[in-house]
């Protein structure tokens, strides 16, 4: 159960008494979910009855009425499918006062957020029980409830965030509570925001991290469950990404399981930093400016409504949508149409018993041929829509369209032409928090383009390795014909030109605003074109942007300068800082840096090994990346227990050779081992030659038979003085593929 403070305002105006209750402040939300995604669109957080077709537990609270009398009850809500003329309304709920329902059923009128008249009730003075009672489990929603003894007047619209009427009803003070000043204020608690906050804090900055949800991670949290992509710890600065590795998920699917995303781990890591002031459940809604600089960010607690003003020297927009930059009038861009959309992924399971699912006539009208079958019991990233819709002003409608698609698909599985095969199927999870990909981008001193990436343009401040291909999403034509206005299944088109091992170094100048002097940005709202966004937008890459921003902020704090000055006057300092381990820290921006004993080992330009680490294997080991290859070798990673980053294979009669040179510094007798994973297509008579001391031995080994060991012993070689031992694998006389992974010399015992 989530503890909440009750937001209740009551006033007496002339002869009228008023009581105002925010739904998000209910003492016990029951099974209702707090939805904060659309505050800028409709003015407030609200409670959502997201029960996957089963009514959720009541949200309950106690309300004090100072004045007895007849009250008209107004409920701010909507019929969330009315905008599409769909029926019947799926999100129906009741208001219960002291256990008795009002006569009116809510969530049944209005295509937009409006006041639904609940009728007149007699209420005595004193405390009364109030409850939201869900009737369907299909996403009924309630913003607030207003009681008034003025029976003839409807309350005003409440679409603006903390507008005058709502402020008055809540009795909020004119001036918010002031927090700070901080060296860096980070808004957005996804991978980018976490990377920025932790990085800056470890380099001695005082940091505020503002997140409008109760968990950190953004798209990489248990709420959205997108597995973290993008390779880290590689390229020019292989230390970048070490912070991200501390909290990145290792989900085996996307969507993954709740526990795979480690919400508690993320929060624990952030709270371990004494320099970070973490403000969960706080929604930033405005900024105050001082010329071309941001002076402060205004935010309010999404459960209590209390407002804070967060003062800072520097700010980082990690909201994904560029909200801070937009309010500060930063230069920005947004592709007008054909943007990538929002996904709401989902999962289902099966039981031997028959399970009912309600008919969904209000959902999208789907049969099994209208959507890709959700294999492995989950609906993946391509359940995506909103390509030509307003990603900000129509965000709630995009999410709701996705819900209609998911529930329509599951209805087809349960109640239409898929019913005979899905009697025991049931929904286990549907994301009500959307996973958006693209909206506004804030412009920096460099606007990275696809041409920059493909041509490998070398910027002097290139630093963050982007290893994801240029991956752009479009509606999939096969499924778009029935719903051309807003297709809900996408296809990804991957461009070429990105080195997925080393990565393309994205320049630092993409991470600060070109016209708001003290504004950084990290994540998918950085300074790139629509096409370039296709490679930099994945979560681990966004997190590494944050790491760079955090270190740049510490230079600003130390030198008393601004983000642009870091490039113009302190670039060498930044590039040196990027060589520090992720766990390096200092108490203040001017204090000496200490490196703890548990710092990660330095990775190479292609990252840490994805297979067995050659440095941890016995003896003298040379991996295939350091071998001299001749002939048509192909690289592979499909088989387990390979050494380093990959292995090589070549077919028979191809005249291919792989030469491994092993340097021996201590004379002695060594056993030669060839690392080789068994496979049925391998050669049983691979030629191995061992050259040392001016002599050459020849051996034939079987690479097809399962040996139960990681390496195949070949023979021994005695080295009388320091020198080289050259081991060569050849396809000469092979009767299958020759596998060249690694070679080792192990001292004999």
pLDDT tens-place string over residues 374-409:
999 999 999 999 999 999 999 999 999 999 999 999
Q: Which helix (H) or strand (E) holds 346?
A: strand 346-350
If you write DSSP's letter for every residue of 399-449 in order, what string do you get? HHHHHHHHHHHHHHHHHSTTGGG-TTEEEEEE-SS-EE--S-EE--S--B-
Question: Which of the four pLDDT bands, split at 50, 70 and 90, describes residue 1?
Answer: very low
pLDDT tens-place string over residues 669-725:
999 999 998 999 999 999 999 999 899 999 999 999 877 789 999 999 999 999 999
- For residue 156, pLDDT beyond 50: yes
Question: Which of the four pLDDT bands, split at 50, 70 and 90, describes residue 14?
Answer: low
pLDDT tens-place string over residues 252-311:
999 999 999 999 999 999 999 999 999 999 999 999 999 999 999 999 999 999 999 999
pLDDT of residue 677: 84
**Chain centre to alpha carbon of residue 332:** 22
Close Cβ partners of 153 (under 8 Å, ≥ 6 residues apart): none
Read off the DSSP letter of residue 457: -
CA distances from 175 to 10, 171, 172 (A): 20, 12, 8
Q: How far apart are CA 91 and CA 79, in angstroms?
A: 7
Q: How far apart are CA 14 and CA 9, in angstroms?
A: 16
Rg (alpha carbons) of the chain, rounded to whole number: 30
Phi-psi domain of 71 (left: phi exceeds 0; alpha: psi -120 through 50; beta: other): beta
CB neighbour class for 321 (10 Å; exposed up to 12, middle 13-18, buried from 19): buried
pLDDT tens-place string over residues 93-104:
999 999 999 999
Q: How far apart are CA 520 and CA 705, in angstroms?
A: 57
pLDDT of residue 707: 75
**Chain centre to alpha carbon of residue 469:** 18
The count of other CB atoms within 10 Å of the CB of residue 231 is: 23
Angle between helices 191-202 and 539-559 (to 10 degrees): 30
Residue-wise burial string across 97-136, b where 16 or more C-beta atoms lie within 10 A, e elsewhere: beeeebeebbbbbbeebbbbebeebebeeeebebbbbbbb
State the pairing for strand pair 647-650/634-636.
antiparallel
- For residue 595, pLDDT beyond 90: yes
pLDDT tens-place string over residues 394-452:
999 999 999 999 999 999 999 999 999 999 999 999 999 999 999 999 999 999 999 99
CB neighbour class for 70 (10 Å; exposed up to 12, middle 13-18, buried from 19): exposed
Q: Which helix (H) or strand (E) holds 573?
A: helix 571-577
pLDDT of residue 132: 98
CA distances from 415 to 221, 362, 395 (A): 32, 14, 30
CA distances from 275 to 204, 553, 637 (A): 7, 14, 42
Residue-wise burial string across 579-596, b where 16 or more C-beta atoms lie within 10 A, e elsewhere: ebbbbbbbeebeeeeeee
Q: How far apart are CA 297 and CA 288, in angstroms?
A: 6
Close Cβ partners of 708 (under 8 Å, ≥ 6 residues apart): none
Read off the DSSP letter of residue 560: T
Question: Which of the four pLDDT bands, split at 50, 70 and 90, describes residue 579?
Answer: very high
pLDDT tens-place string over residues 481-526:
999 999 999 999 999 889 989 999 999 999 999 999 999 999 999 9
CB neighbour class for 641 (10 Å; exposed up to 12, middle 13-18, buried from 19): middle
**Chain centre to alpha carbon of residue 85:** 34
Comparison of pLDDT for 638 and 413, the residue scoring more: 413
- Reduced to 3 states (helix: H, G, I; strand: E, B; else coil), residue 330 is coil
Question: Which of the four pLDDT bands, split at 50, 70 and 90, describes residue 6?
Answer: very low
Strand segments, DSSP code E, in 254-292 are 276-279, 282-290
Q: Taking the alpha carbons of 580, 582, 586, 590 in that order, is the dihedral positive or negative?
A: positive
- The reported pTM is 0.91
Phi-psi domain of 362 (left: phi exceeds 0; alpha: psi -120 through 50; beta: other): alpha
The two structure tokens encoding residue 19: 């009581």
- Reduced to 3 states (helix: H, G, I; strand: E, B; else coil), residue 104 is coil
- For residue 13, pLDDT beyond 70: no
pLDDT tens-place string over residues 649-673:
999 999 999 999 999 999 999 999 9
- Reduced to 3 states (helix: H, G, I; strand: E, B; else coil), residue 376 is helix
Q: How far apart are CA 724 and CA 708, in angstroms?
A: 30
Which residue from 514, 510, 571 is spatially nearest to 544, judged by alpha carbons? 510
Q: How far apart are CA 163 and CA 44, in angstroms?
A: 10
The two structure tokens encoding residue 112: 């937009």
- For residue 543, pLDDT beyond 80: yes
SS (H, E, C) 163-202: CHHHHHHHCCCCCCEEEEEEEEEEECCEHHHHHHHHHHHH
If you write DSSP's letter for every residue of 633-672 in order, what string do you get? -EEE--SSS-BTT-EEEE-TTS--EEEEEEEE-S-EEEEE
Evaluate whether 536 touches 522 at the Cβ level (below 8 Å): no
Q: Which percentage of the chain shows pLDDT scores above 70? A: 98
pLDDT of residue 3: 35
């Amino acid at each position: 159960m989530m503890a909440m403070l009750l937001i209740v305002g009551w006033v007496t105006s002339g002869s009228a008494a008023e009581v105002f209750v925010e739904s998000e402040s209910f003492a016990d939300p029951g099974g209702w979910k707090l939805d904060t995604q659309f505050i800028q669109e409709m003015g407030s957080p609200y409670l959502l009855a997201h029960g996957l077709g089963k009514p959720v537990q009541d949200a309950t609270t106690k309300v004090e009425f100072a004045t007895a009398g007849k009250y008209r009850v107004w409920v701010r809500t909507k019929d969330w499918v009315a905008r599409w003329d769909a029926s019947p309304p799926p999100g129906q709920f009741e208001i219960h006062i002291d256990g008795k329902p009002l006569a009116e059923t809510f969530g049944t009128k209005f295509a937009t957020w409006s006041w639904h008249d609940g009728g007149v009730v007699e209420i005595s003075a004193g405390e009364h029980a109030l409850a939201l009672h869900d009737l369907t489990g299909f996403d009924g929603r309630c913003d607030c409830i207003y009681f008034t003894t003025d029976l003839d007047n409807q309350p005003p619209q409440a679409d603006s965030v903390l507008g005058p009427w709502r402020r008055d009803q809540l009795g909020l003070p004119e001036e918010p509570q002031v927090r700070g000043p901080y060296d860096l204020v980070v808004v957005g608690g996804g991978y980018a925001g976490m990377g920025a906050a932790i990085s800056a804090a470890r380099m001695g900055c005082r940091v505020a991290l503002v997140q409008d949800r109760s968990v950190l991670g953004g798209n990489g949290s248990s709420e959205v469950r997108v597995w973290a992509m993008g390779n880290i710890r590689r390229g020019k600065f292989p230390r970048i990404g070490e912070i991200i590795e501390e909290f990145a998920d290792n989900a085996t699917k996307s969507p993954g399981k709740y526990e795979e995303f480690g919400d508690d781990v993320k929060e624990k890591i952030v709270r371990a930093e004494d320099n970070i002031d973490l403000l969960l459940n706080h929604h930033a809604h405005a900024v105050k400016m001082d010329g071309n600089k941001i002076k402060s960010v205004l935010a309010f607690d999404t459960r209590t409504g209390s407002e804070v003003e967060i003062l800072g020297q520097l700010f980082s927009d990690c909201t994904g949508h560029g909200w801070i930059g937009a309010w500060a009038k930063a230069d920005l861009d947004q592709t007008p149409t054909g943007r990538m959309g929002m996904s709401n992924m989902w999962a289902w399971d099966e039981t031997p018993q028959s399970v009912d699912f309600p008919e969904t006539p209000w959902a999208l009208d789907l049969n099994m041929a209208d959507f890709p079958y959700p294999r492995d019991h989950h609906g993946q990233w391509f359940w995506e829509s909103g390509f030509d819709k307003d990603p900000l002003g129509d965000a709630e409608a995009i999410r709701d369209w996705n819900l209609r698609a998911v529930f329509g698909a599951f209805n087809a599985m349960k109640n239409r032409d898929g019913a005979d095969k899905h009697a025991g199927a049931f929904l286990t999870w549907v994301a009500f928090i959307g996973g958006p990909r693209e909206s506004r981008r804030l412009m920096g001193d460099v606007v990275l383009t696809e041409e920059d990436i493909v041509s490998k343009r070398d910027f002097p401040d290139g630093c963050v390795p982007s290893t994801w291909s240029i991956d752009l999403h479009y509606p999939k034509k096969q499924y778009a014909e029935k719903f051309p206005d807003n297709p809900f299944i996408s296809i990804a088109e991957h461009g070429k030109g990105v080195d997925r091992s080393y990565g393309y170094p994205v320049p630092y100048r993409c991470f600060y605003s070109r016209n708001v002097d003290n504004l950084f940005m990290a994540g998918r709202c950085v300074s790139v074109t629509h096409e370039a966004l296709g490679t930099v937008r994945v979560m681990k890459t966004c997190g590494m942007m944050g790491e760079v921003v955090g270190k740049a902020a510490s230079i600003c704090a130390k030198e008393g300068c601004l983000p642009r000055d870091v490039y113009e006057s302190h670039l060498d300092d930044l590039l040196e800082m990027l060589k520090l381990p992720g766990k390096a820290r200092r108490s203040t921006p001017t204090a000496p840096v200490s490196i703890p004993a548990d710092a990660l080992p330095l990775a190479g330009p292609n990252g840490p090994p994805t297979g067995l680490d050659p440095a941890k294997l016995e003896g003298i080991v040379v991996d295939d990346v350091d071998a001299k290859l001749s002939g048509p070798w192909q690289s592979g990673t499909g088989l387990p227990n390979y050494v380093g980053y990959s292995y090589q294979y070549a077919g028979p009669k191809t005249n291919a050779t792989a030469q491994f040179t092993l340097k021996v510094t201590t004379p002695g007798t060594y056993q030669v081992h060839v690392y080789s994973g068994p496979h049925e297509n391998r050669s049983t008579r691979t030629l191995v030659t061992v050259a040392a001391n001016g002599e050459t031995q020849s051996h034939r080994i079987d690479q097809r038979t399962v040996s139960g060991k990681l390496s195949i012993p070949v023979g021994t070689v005695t080295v009388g003085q320091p020198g080289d031992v050259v081991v060569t694998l050849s396809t000469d006389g092979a009767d299958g593929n020759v596998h060249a992974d690694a070679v080792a010399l192990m001292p004999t015992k």
